[in-house]
């Protein structure tokens, strides 16, 4: 539970840094996606659902589009966004490993 709590704290820090503004993520293929505070909350909730599904042995829902965009972002990101991207990559690796077992 500590990991979920620390991620919720990260969402709160993102909210404070965003202050209602949107960030633009640029993917490897050049696609652009604007993300807002609400998008980060949606991503957090989806990641929570995914972890619950792994724990229960159920089918894991796909990542939320913001999570996918964070993983492949190539543009320079604010430190807190870079940390969110790395957390998303780590979570997806953990879910993949747990699903294989």
Which pLDDT band, with edges at 50, 70 and 90, does 27 fall under? confident
Rounded to the nearest 10 degrees, the angle between the axes of helix 79-100 and helix 65-72 is 110
Q: Encode pLDDT of 7-23 as tens digits.
A: 777 777 666 665 556 77
Comparing C-alpha atoms, which of 98, 39, 94 is closest to residue 64?
Answer: 39
Quote the number of domains for the chain: 1
Would you state the pLDDT for residue 15? 65
Which pLDDT band, with edges at 50, 70 and 90, does 1 fall under? very low
Range scoring the smallest mean pLDDT among 19-33, 59-73, 87-101: 19-33
Q: Encode pLDDT of 28-66 as tens digits.
A: 888 888 888 888 889 999 999 999 999 899 999 999 998
Q: Which domain holds residue 52?
A: 2-100
Rounded to the nearest 10 degrees, the angle between the axes of helix 37-56 and helix 65-72 is 100
- E strand residue ranges, the chain: 23-26, 32-35
């Amino acid at each position: 539970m500590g990991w979920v709590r620390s991620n919720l704290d990260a969402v709160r820090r993102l909210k404070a840094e965003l202050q209602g503004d949107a960030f633009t993520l640029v993917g490897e293929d050049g696609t652009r996606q604007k993300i807002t505070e609400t998008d980060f909350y949606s991503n957090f909730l989806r990641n929570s659902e995914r972890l619950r599904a792994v724990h229960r042995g159920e089918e894991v829902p796909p990542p939320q589009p913001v999570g996918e965009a964070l993983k492949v972002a190539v543009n320079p990101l604010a430190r807190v966004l870079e940390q969110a991207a790395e957390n998303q990559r780590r979570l997806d690796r953990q879910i993949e490993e747990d699903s294989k077992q």
